[in-house]
Chain A
C-alpha cells in the first residue's frame, strides 16, 4: 500500500513539463488575426486600451485587448464604409471614472450598440472600452459570446452592473429595451418610455450619465413583422425585416453633456422612486433633444 507521500510524488511526476508538450501547433489568437487585418493606428489603439488584467490578459468578464482589436476588425467595414459613422461631442465622455452612456435603441439588430462601441474605442480619450449590456440569451450563443465578451460585452445581470460600476467602467445602456429595438418603422424616433434601472444604478453608484442620440439607426432595417412564438437561443422574438440586409443609412452619433448625479442625490436615494424617475426622465428628455438636433442637422437618411 503506497503512502500518501508516494502517491503525491507519483502525481507530481505527472506534472513534469517535459511530458506535457501540446502536439498541435498553437492556434492564432484574436490579437494575431487583428494584427494582420487592422491598420497600425487602429491596432495600436486597441492594444493601448485600459483593461483590468487579472494575470493572463483577461478581466473577470472575459474582456481582453485581442478581443477589442477583433471587435474593431468586425465593425470596421460597417463603421467606415457601410454606415459612414459621424460622431459629435464625444469629448463629453469623461476619460476616467464610472459612466453610463444612455442611448435610444432601434434597428431590428443591435448594430447601434456596435457603432457606439466602435466610436468610443476609436475616438474617446483615456483608452476606454465601453461595456455593452448583452441580453440574457447572448451568452448562450456559440462564438458570439466569445466575440462579445472579448470586446467588453457582459450579461445584463444586476450583479454585473454593480461590479463594473464599482470598478469605474463605462457602460452603454439602452433604457428603451426590447420595445425600442423592435419599434415599427412608422414610429421611428419616438422614444419608448425609459426603464428606470439605469437611473437607480447611477444614483446608487453616483455615476455620471451621458445621453446619446443615435440618428440613422431607426431607419436602418424596417421590420415587416415579428414572430412572437419563436425564441431561437432564447431571443424574445424572431424579427422579419423588409430587406435582406440593413440599409446603408448614414449614422450620426450625438453625445450630450453629462447629467450630473453626485451632489444632487445621495446613494440611498436609489430607493426613492421619485428621484429615480426624475433622473430617468431627464435622461429621456436629453436623448430626445439630441435626436431632434441630429435630425434637423442631417442632409438625408443616406447622406
Chain B
C-alpha cells in the first residue's frame, strides 16, 4: 500500500490531462479517485479507468459542488482535491468564463478548507501566467513576475487571477496548498494555443525571431501530479517538459510549413484566420513568447518532488527535421 495521500477528487477529469492524471493516480495506488466532469456519464464511458468514480457536476453551481464535497467525497474519505478544470477556449469570454476559471477555484478551495477529510488542494496553472518580455530570464523560476497587465486577454487574466487566488491562501489555509505551473501540453482538447496554431498547414512566425519553447507530455504531467500529492512543502512548482526546441523546429516536426512574416502583420493575419476559420489561436496571448525565450526552471520540482521530465512528445512528423541532408552536407548535422 502506498504511503501518503489517499483518495483524490479530480475536477476537469474528462480532458486528456484529467484522464492521464486519474489513470496515474490509480496506478500509483492513491485511490479511490472521484472524477468530476461536465459531460454525461454515457458520453465519457470507456474514457476513464473503471476504478474511477465519475460524477457529472457543473462546478458553476455551488449547490452541486457542495453536495459532492460534503456527500460522496466525505463518505469516501478523499484527502486531496486536484483542480484541473479551466475554460479551454481563448475565444470564449465574459462573466460565465470568469466564473468557471476564478470563482469556481475560489469556491472549491474554500470548501476544501472546511472539509473534514480533505488535507490538500492542488491547482493546475500554466507557464503562460509568467510575464514574458525581453529581460525575462531564459529559465523562469517560480518567483518571477506574473503577467498582471490589464490589457492581457481574459484567457490569461483569469489564469493569473486563479493562480494568485490560490497562492494567497498558502500558509493561511488549514490545508496543504500547491500550485503546479505546467509547461504547455501540446495535445488536442487541452486548450493549447500552440496546438491550435499548429493546426494550420502554414504557420506564420515573427521574422527574425525563433524563441525556445518547452513542451510537456501528458505522461510527465500526470507523473508530476502524482508526486505533488505527497509534496512535503507548500508552494508553487514549475513543471517543465522534456522537449526544448525553437518554434521553427516545432513547426517542422509537426509537419507544417514555417513562414517568417514581419511581426506587425501577424496580429491582423491571425485575427483574420480566427474570424474566418473560427480557430482559437490568439496572437495577442502569444506575441511575447513568440519573440522571447522562456523555459520553466524545474529545479524546485526536481529537488522537492523528485520530478524529472522523462517522456518526450511523439511528433507527428519526426523525419521532417529542418536538418535534412542537403547536397554535400554529409547528412544529418543537427540544428
Q: How far, in angstroms, from A166 to B320 measured CA to CA in the complex?
A: 34
Indicate if B257 sits at the interface (CB-CB under 8 A). yes
Indicate if B269 sits at the interface (CB-CB under 8 A). no
Closest chain B residue to A139 by CB distance? B134
Interface residue total, chain A, C-beta cutoff 8 A: 60
Q: How many A-B residue pairs have CB under 8 A?
A: 180
CB interface residues, A 48-97, toward B, < 8 Å: 54-62, 64-67
Q: How far, in angstroms, from A76 to B253 measured CA to CA in the complex?
A: 32
CB within 8 Å for A155 and B242 given contacts A35-B333, A65-B334: no
Indicate if A24 sits at the interface (CB-CB under 8 A). yes
Indicate if B201 sits at the interface (CB-CB under 8 A). yes
B335 touches A160 (CB 8 A): no
Q: How far, in angstroms, from A47 to B14 measured CA to CA in the complex?
A: 46
Indicate if B297 sits at the interface (CB-CB under 8 A). yes
CB interface residues, A 137-164, toward B, < 8 Å: 137, 139-143, 145-146, 149, 154-155, 157-160, 163
A136 touches B323 (CB 8 A): no
- Kindly identify which residue among B188, B199, B330, B335 contacts A29, using a CB–CB cutoff of 8 Å: B335
- Chain A residues, CB < 8 A from B152: none
A29 touches B323 (CB 8 A): yes
A26 touches B321 (CB 8 A): yes
Q: How far, in angstroms, from A110 to B211 measured CA to CA in the complex?
A: 23
A157 touches B329 (CB 8 A): no
Indicate if A235 sits at the interface (CB-CB under 8 A). no
CB within 8 Å for A22 and B39 given contacts A60-B214, A160-B138: no
A5 touches B46 (CB 8 A): yes
- Kindly identify which residue among B258, B316, B321, B335 contacts A58, using a CB–CB cutoff of 8 Å: B335
Q: How far, in angstroms, from A19 to B255 measured CA to CA in the complex?
A: 8
- Chain A residues, CB < 8 A from B242: 54-55
CB within 8 Å for A146 and B324 given contacts A32-B333, A163-B139: no
B246 touches A3 (CB 8 A): no
- Kindly identify which residue among A32, A141, A166 contacts B323, using a CB–CB cutoff of 8 Å: A32
- Chain A residues, CB < 8 A from B46: 5
- Chain B residues, CB < 8 A from A160: 137-139
CB interface residues, B 108-145, toward A, < 8 Å: 134-141, 144
- Identify the stretch in A7-15, A98-106, A182-190 within 8 Å (CB) of chain B at 4 or more residues: A7-15
Distance from A58 Cβ to chain B, minimum over Cβ atoms (Å):
6
CB interface residues, B 43-87, toward A, < 8 Å: 43-47
A32 touches B326 (CB 8 A): yes
A55 touches B243 (CB 8 A): yes
- Chain A residues, CB < 8 A from B210: 146
Q: How far, in angstroms, from A56 to B332 measured CA to CA in the complex?
A: 13
Given contacts A22-B258, A29-B333, A58-B212, 18 further A-B contacts (CB under 8 A): A3-B45, A14-B188, A20-B256, A22-B256, A26-B322, A28-B329, A29-B323, A30-B335, A31-B333, A36-B328, A61-B138, A61-B139, A62-B246, A136-B135, A137-B134, A142-B208, A155-B135, A160-B139
Q: Interface on A for B, CB 8 Å cutoff? A: 1, 3-5, 7-8, 11-12, 14-17, 19-24, 26-32, 35-36, 47, 54-62, 64-67, 136-137, 139-143, 145-146, 149, 154-155, 157-160, 163, 166, 234
Counting from the closest, the 7 A-B pairs by CB-CB distance are A142-B208, A20-B255, A159-B137, A11-B188, A54-B244, A31-B333, A56-B245
Of the A-B pairs whose beta carbons lie under 8 Å apart in the complex, a sample of 9, sorted by A's number, is: A21-B255, A24-B258, A47-B333, A55-B243, A62-B138, A62-B293, A159-B137, A159-B144, A160-B138
